[in-house]
Structure 1
Amino acid sequence: MAPEESTETTRLLQSFERRFLAARALRSFPWQSLEEKLRDSGSELLLDILQKTVKHPLCTKHPPSVKYTRCFLSELIRKPSGDSVTLSESTAIISHGTTGLVTWNAALYLAEWAIENPVAFTHRTVLELGSGAGLTGLAICKMCRPRAYVFSDCHSRVLEQLRGNVLLNHISLEPDATTPVEHPGHDTHHSEIPRVTVAQLDWDTVTTPQLAAFQPDVVIAADVLYCPETVLSLVGVLQRLSACRKDEQAPAAYVAFTVRNPETCQLFTTEMGRVGISWEALPRHDQKLFPYEEHSETDILKLML
């Protein structure tokens, strides 16, 4: 970096730091200068800004209000992506007989990991199991440039909310997919806009041919290890996914979860071993974009289907 550019970057970082520590109005931040700088500096500058603001030692010790931090991060995320993620959620943990109408910690954690590791999703078809409110998938669609993204769940109210959240973020939906169907073939390898569908998918009844119709390159799931019955159903789906691309490499798979009951997590790894699915825990990532409870133990497993 040239000396002049280094000086400009330092001034920009100082400007963000001083305004954030003083809790100044967001409109006073030098957003235009940041956008101009991002064209040359890339995401490294965003990480530097996070260190000077949200992750500043003073903010770690004396954090600003959650509302102020959330608004700041929403504005910051909008700069490289051209937009922010907007969600409609239920205010109740359990609503209409499901927990899928709210966003849970592991979904936020997986979204942060995806933003830090976009190459895992770029120009690929992603199938999300148990999408819930859709935060993780919307972040991936906006920040990681997948070729196609399939949100899926089995609860009708969750699917209704999912479709609404996708449209709320100005993302076009392919024709409604209440059952797995093969996407029409057209080359979007270089497209910035992924093909997005919302599919009804029951883990206990979906077949290998139906899963194969999605042609997934990557499979993800977040906060779906909450009871033994669900774990067994999930392992069954993963086993079928491992066999759904006979002549090609099996899809990569990532499962994020918060450790609430160690026995349930142990059951998941034991059952995967029983059906021949190996796994490894990913290192904790440094990306911290969303305000959530960090004292909870959240992990991401990479599965070898």
Structure 2
Amino acid sequence: MDSNDDKSMDMQLISKLFFSKQPINIITDYLRDHIQELSSDETQEQLLNATIGHKLMNKYPLSLKYRQLFAKKVIQLLESEDFTICDTFYILNGHLLSQSMDTIKNNYNFNYLNYVLTSGQIVSLQESNNLVIDGTTGLTTWSAAKHLAYFIECNPHIVKNKNIVELGSGVGMTGICVLKTCYPHSYTFSDHHPLVLQVLQNNIDINNCGQNWRISNIDWFDPYSVDNYLNANDPDIIIASDVTYDPQVIGYLCDVLNKLLKSCHKRRK
């Protein structure tokens, strides 16, 4: 590290590490040793041109997952230093994420399903017939979500004018139903898998759900993600349906619920 402090960042070395798919932490450790150089838009652009924005990635691209993870980790590194991130970084990152969506649509049997609510309104959802995709079960509507949506629609007084957070929103069936029929004060959809979040955003958009909603990336394994949500939100009601089948996850889910319930309790005092 000491020897690196006296040298400017070596973009050729970074390209060599990136092109050979070296562990990303090796690259980010190197970047951290030269972190002040990355405060400038010019150096950030050079880094992009040496890695995910290199012309070689158009002709012979590395795996999409590796490129996405690289972009994510570098953005996190820059944000941790409170650096202004150049627009090109966000544009390229968005392009990588959109490629994920295209891959899913082409390879995982995606289509639209239309659900008729008790009110006669229709909820149209983009989802997959596959129960598990890329390690997540959140890209299809499960029966419990339909039953929960029906229960809330039949009992709108429970959620009317309330601030609601939903855990494991998946493709959005329950939340979209609530927004279209029950008039909550605010509704927070939450999930963590990036592909689920993309599909969820699309489904909310196509169903014209108004303005009183948001999507929050709540990772049950990261307590800080719950804290970040609670720093800006005070939920009245927590809802969830069919959110896990893995017993090893239950403890983490309980920790999330404990934090959220404590916040609800304070709000009611």
TM-score by length of 2: 0.53
List aligned pairs for 1:89-238, cutoff 5 A.
89-172=127-210, 195-207=212-224, 209-212=227-230, 213-238=232-257
Q: How many residues align?
A: 155
Residues 117, 123 of structure 2: 8 Å contact kept: no
Q: List gaps (5 residues or longer) in structure 1.
A: 1-69, 173-193, 251-305
Which residue number in structure 1 is paired with residue 261 of structure 2?
242
TM-score by length of 1: 0.47
Structure 1 SS opposite 2:147: helix
Higher relative contact order (CA 8 A, sep 6+): 1
Give the C-alpha shift of residue 230 in structure 1: 2.0
Residues 132, 158 of structure 1: 8 Å contact kept: yes
| 1:125-173 Cα distance to aligned partner (Å, 9 max, x none) | 110000011001111111111011111100000000000000010224x
Distance 1:88 1:237, change over 3 A: same
Distance 1:133 1:75, change over 3 A: closer
Give the C-alpha shift of residue 210 in structure 1: 2.4
Task: Tell me, in whole angstroms, the C-alpha distance in 2 between the residues paired with 1:195 and 1:148.
Answer: 5
Amino acid at match of 2:148: L
Task: Tell me, in whole angstroms, the C-alpha distance in 2 between the residues paired with 1:148 and 1:242.
Answer: 17
Task: Tell me, in whole angstroms, the C-alpha distance in 1 between the residues paired with 2:220 and 2:164.
Answer: 17
Which residue number in structure 1 is paired with residue 116 of structure 2?
74
Task: Tell me, in whole angstroms, the C-alpha distance in 1 between the residues paired with 2:242 and 2:215.
Answer: 19
Amino acid at match of 2:243: V
Give the C-alpha shift of residue 231 in structure 1: 1.2
Distance 1:171 1:248, change over 3 A: closer
Distance 1:243 1:196, change over 3 A: same
| 1:52-98 Cα distance to aligned partner (Å, 9 max, x none) | xxxxxxxxxxxxxxxxxx98x728633xxxx4211000121111221
TM-align CA RMSD = 2.2
Task: Tell me, in whole angstroms, the C-alpha distance in 2 between the residues paired with 1:204 and 1:243.
Answer: 18
Structure 2 SS opposite 1:86: strand
Amino acid at match of 1:205: D
Task: Tell me, in whole angstroms, the C-alpha distance in 1 between the residues paired with 2:149 and 2:117.
Answer: 17
Give the C-alpha shift of residue 245 in structure 1: 4.9
Give the C-alpha shift of residue 119 in structure 1: 0.7
Task: Tell me, in whole angstroms, the C-alpha distance in 1 between the residues paired with 2:217 and 2:191.
Answer: 5
Residues 127, 214 of structure 1: 8 Å contact kept: no
Q: List gaps (5 residues or longer) in structure 2.
A: 1-112
Structure 1 SS opposite 2:135: coil
Distance 1:105 1:75, change over 3 A: closer
Structure 2 SS opposite 1:167: helix
Residues 89, 102 of structure 1: 8 Å contact kept: yes
| Structure (1 or 2) with the larger CA radius of gyration | 2
Determine if the alignment matches structure 1 residue 87 to structure 2 residue 87.
no
Q: Sequence identity, in percent?
A: 34
Task: Tell me, in whole angstroms, the C-alpha distance in 1 between the residues paired with 2:205 and 2:248.
Answer: 32
Task: Tell me, in whole angstroms, the C-alpha distance in 1 between the residues paired with 2:183 and 2:125.
Answer: 20
| 1:169-228 Cα distance to aligned partner (Å, 9 max, x none) | 0224xxxxxxxxxxxxxxxxxxxxx51111111012134642422211111001014111
Amino acid at match of 2:213: V
Structure 1 SS opposite 2:239: strand
